[in-house]
A and B are shown apart, each in its own frame.
Chain A
Amino acid sequence: MAWTRKILRVNLTKGTCTAEDLNMEWAMDYLGSRGLATKYLVEEIDPKVDPLSADNKLIMATGPMTGTIASTGGRYTVVTKGPLTGAIACSNSGGYVGAEMKFAGWDMVIFEGKSPKPVYLMIENDKAELRDASHLWGTSTWHTEEQIKKENQDPQIRISSIGKAGENQVLFSCVVNDLHRAAGRSGVGAVMGSKNLKAVAIRGTKGISNVVNPAEFQKVTAEKKQILAENAVTGEGLPTYGTQVLMNVINEMGALPTRNFKDVKFESANDISAEAMATPRESDGKAQLIANQACFGCTIACGRVSKIDKDHFSVQQKPQYHGASGGLEYEAAWALGAANGVKDLEALQYAQMVCNEQGFDPISFGATVGAVMEMYENGTIDEETIGLKAPFGSAEALCELVDMTANGEGFGVEIGLGSKRLCEKYGQPELSMSVKGQEFPAYDPRGIQGMGLTYATSNRGACHLRSYTVASETLGIPVKTDPLATEGKPGLVMAFQDATAAFDSSGLCVFTSFAWGLGDIQAQIDAACEGDWSEEKLQEVGERIWNMEKLFNLEAGLTKEDDQLPTRLTTEAATEGPAKGLVAGVPEMLPEYYELRGWDKDGVPSAEKLKSLGL
């Protein structure tokens, strides 16, 4: 087996840390990470709980593959009820923290209650204790990591923490680990902040000694690494360009949402692309991109490390931003750039750094700024309200607003509520480009129809990582489908959703699914874990997880109305590109999707479906 079979329960109200045995029956049905942590959460909390109250719980969980030599085996998930959405929140991160948790001997950590004062959890193998974090409160994730390592005289500690955004309960704040990686979406950082939990610091030296068949595991993981290396996406596109490989591709498809989804192409896409990041700047002759970086165990290495132009207006007299830092990923470059019409690559990098430093999601932040800029331009919000001029394309406004949001100052407080609440407040709810209150990522559903259904039905609110049909609709993985067609998409979305839930629950990265099918992870799981793991079983585990998440949302009070796209996307046609004249076909796809799922017309799972999944 590759589970440690131990979970750590931390009661923040009482200040206690208790070891418990992992429920192995549940592990057999939910695998690990996303699935297993969600099972624990739904068993332990009332779905109607206020996400920011002491009654909510927050779980950090690894999968059975986390901490093994399998490629990308470094993932962990933060599961809780999300404050941005009121739905299940489930945010996945790489870096090194997940593996370290396993090396310390824990499959997951469950946080419950609320600490009376700021604390951080220190885990050193079997030993776990809460420590005072008063001196860290009000500081950044970067400072927190540095300080914890320093005061423990141990540079090998790995840390997940929140910045000021999580403390201030910005509704899209992250849990940041290893400086530049994040469990990014749905406001999981705000839940941590609401519990007065500043950080989780881990040092694990026990390692993983109990894979079932070590020789077979070594052999099969090596074979699967070879598949990644030989694949055009995981062996070439992602290593060479990072996720930013997509910027020009998606723009050409007429599916790059621009200026709050008013347009589907960004005329300056090339200025914020992977190619631009690698091109020497006119100002100092250096490229922004300086290195590629991998998360633990990853043989793809899609991560980017960049250095901003020291003379850029955003960082003058701010030497703390002059060093290397996590560079632009596609989603962030889109949300901070195209979604606001901003083409200044240095400004995007600055905003990305502040998001990492103070811990908030650049997708939701950038998309919310997009809505603000639209309301500024249509006269709903004026300069006085915002505190500055905020037209589309203003890099200055982007950089000011990111500071204000990070520090909880002025209009930044309103941005921190996310676009849904902000647009409602100003009487224009239809301008929030979100589902379940969570902002869209970087694919326009008019040009990539499967993504519309993906956003609408995602259990954690709009998200690309729940069923990345872009793989099929753009890249032909595993089969090519027409991005403009709605036919066949409900089945495609469902299959991707279930498979992704299995990938996420294994502890492996979903990016491997460009090259690996369920059969490829099955072989690795089967060599490492007890139990009989077949491809069919993983499919079923995925479907079970999806239905479990859906049930949680229904019990939390969400309805069919929460599975709809904003009217802009279903009534305003794309104005140019291949999708010209098309709207998002979600209304026609949704009934078929529900039916394929075995759900009724209101999206409620049938008794037979639940019974067949053992729910």
Chain B
Amino acid sequence: MQKSLYIDPEKCTGCLQCEMACSFEQTGVFNPSQSRIKVFSFEEEGRKVPYTCTQCDEAWCMQACPVDSIKLDATTGAKVVQDETCVGCKVCTISCPFGTINYVVDTGKVAKCDLCGGDPACVKACPTDAITYVDASWTGLDKMRKWAAKANDASL
């Protein structure tokens, strides 16, 4: 069964454990500036929103890459940057509509979420279950359950 990251911003507290875990998994350094998941803070509304690559089926980044350096991991569905062949041309960063693939100055390559090979570090680190890793065909299940619970309320 293929899984997908599922993010519920309502539960995010902004602790950045996900960014720390991601950067450590990917680079061996505790360094949010190297994280592939970012938590955004909307101060006026008091909201925190984690955001990362959704692994598009028809991935713009993959299609734009002139040297074919972004490959599909058939098991996880992740689009994975091949560091050996990436030339750092940044065309993928322009083509991605969501901004979730970025150039890394230190390496001269691009970096994006690769779902950690099917065991995402951000998910394990999140203390509030704001980030979960669920059946890719049923990311709506939680919301459905919430509404179903209401539908079952005799008072409605």
Residues of A within 8 A of B (CB): 67-69, 71, 96, 99, 103, 156, 179, 204-209, 211, 214, 218, 225, 229, 290-299, 301, 303, 305-307, 323-325
Interface positions, chain B 7-65, Cβ under 8 Å from A, are 13-17, 20-21, 23-24, 27-34, 43-48
Contact call A299/B15, Cβ cutoff below 8 A: yes
Chain B residues with CB below 8 A from A307, complex form: 46
Contact call A292/B28, Cβ cutoff below 8 A: no
Chain B residues with CB below 8 A from A225, complex form: 127
Contact call B33/A208, Cβ cutoff below 8 A: no
Chain A residues with CB below 8 A from B46, complex form: 290-291, 293, 305-307, 324-325
> Please, could you name 26 A-B residue pairs with CB atoms under 8 Å apart, sorted by A?
A67-B30, A69-B20, A204-B33, A207-B23, A207-B27, A207-B29, A207-B31, A207-B33, A207-B34, A208-B31, A209-B29, A209-B30, A214-B28, A290-B45, A290-B46, A291-B46, A292-B13, A293-B46, A297-B15, A299-B15, A301-B127, A303-B13, A323-B43, A323-B45, A324-B43, A325-B46
A206 CA to B29 CA in the complex, in Å?
Answer: 9
Contact call B127/A297, Cβ cutoff below 8 A: no
A324 CA to B47 CA in the complex, in Å?
Answer: 9
Residues of B within 8 A of A (CB): 13-17, 20-21, 23-24, 27-34, 43-48, 125, 127-128
Shortest Cβ distance from residue B104 to the other chain A in the assembled complex, whole angstroms: 10
List the B residue with the shortest CB-CB distance to A156: B33
Contact call B30/A68, Cβ cutoff below 8 A: yes
Contact call A208/B30, Cβ cutoff below 8 A: yes
Chain A residues with CB below 8 A from B13, complex form: 292-294, 298, 301, 303
| Sample of 6 more A-B contacts, CB < 8 Å, known A103-B31, A296-B15 | A69-B17, A71-B127, A206-B31, A208-B30, A293-B13, A324-B47
Chain A residues with CB below 8 A from B33, complex form: 103, 156, 204-205, 207
A356 CA to B24 CA in the complex, in Å?
Answer: 34
Judged by DSSP, the binding face of A is loop
Q: Which listed residue (B14, B30, B47, B48) contacts A207, Cβ 8 A? A: B30
Q: Which of B15, B23, B30, B128 has its CB near the most chain A CB atoms (within 10 A)?
A: B30
List the B residue with the shortest CB-CB distance to A67: B30
- A-B pairs with lowest CB-CB distance, top 6: A207-B31, A324-B46, A305-B46, A294-B15, A299-B127, A294-B13
Chain A residues with CB below 8 A from B29, complex form: 207-209
Shortest Cβ distance from residue B20 to the other chain A in the assembled complex, whole angstroms: 4
Shortest Cβ distance from residue B141 to the other chain A in the assembled complex, whole angstroms: 24
A218 CA to B27 CA in the complex, in Å?
Answer: 14
List the B residue with the shortest CB-CB distance to A298: B15
A293 CA to B47 CA in the complex, in Å?
Answer: 9
Q: Which of B16, B28, B34 has its CB near the most chain A CB atoms (within 10 A)?
A: B16
Chain A residues with CB below 8 A from B48, complex form: 291, 293
Shortest Cβ distance from residue B49 to the other chain A in the assembled complex, whole angstroms: 12
Shortest Cβ distance from residue B24 to the other chain A in the assembled complex, whole angstroms: 7
A216 CA to B34 CA in the complex, in Å?
Answer: 22
List the A residue with the shortest CB-CB distance to B44: A323
Shortest Cβ distance from residue B14 to the other chain A in the assembled complex, whole angstroms: 6
Shortest Cβ distance from residue B120 to the other chain A in the assembled complex, whole angstroms: 15
A251 CA to B7 CA in the complex, in Å?
Answer: 40
A468 CA to B49 CA in the complex, in Å?
Answer: 34
A192 CA to B15 CA in the complex, in Å?
Answer: 28
Contact call A209/B28, Cβ cutoff below 8 A: yes
Shortest Cβ distance from residue B148 to the other chain A in the assembled complex, whole angstroms: 25
Chain B residues with CB below 8 A from A296, complex form: 15-16
Chain B residues with CB below 8 A from A229, complex form: 127
A457 CA to B16 CA in the complex, in Å?
Answer: 37
Shortest Cβ distance from residue A319 to the other chain B in the assembled complex, whole angstroms: 11
Shortest Cβ distance from residue B138 to the other chain A in the assembled complex, whole angstroms: 26
List the B residue with the shortest CB-CB distance to A324: B46
List the B residue with the shortest CB-CB distance to A180: B43
A209 CA to B106 CA in the complex, in Å?
Answer: 14
Chain A residues with CB below 8 A from B34, complex form: 205, 207
Chain A residues with CB below 8 A from B43, complex form: 179, 323-324
A303 CA to B23 CA in the complex, in Å?
Answer: 25
Contact call B15/A301, Cβ cutoff below 8 A: yes
Q: Which listed residue (A67, A96, A211, A291) contacts B47, Cβ 8 A? A: A291
List the A residue with the shortest CB-CB distance to B47: A291
List the A residue with the shortest CB-CB distance to B40: A155
A179 CA to B15 CA in the complex, in Å?
Answer: 15
Chain A residues with CB below 8 A from B47, complex form: 291, 324
Q: A69-B21, A324-B45 given as contacts; is B31 within 8 A of A294 (CB)?
A: no
A488 CA to B25 CA in the complex, in Å?
Answer: 48
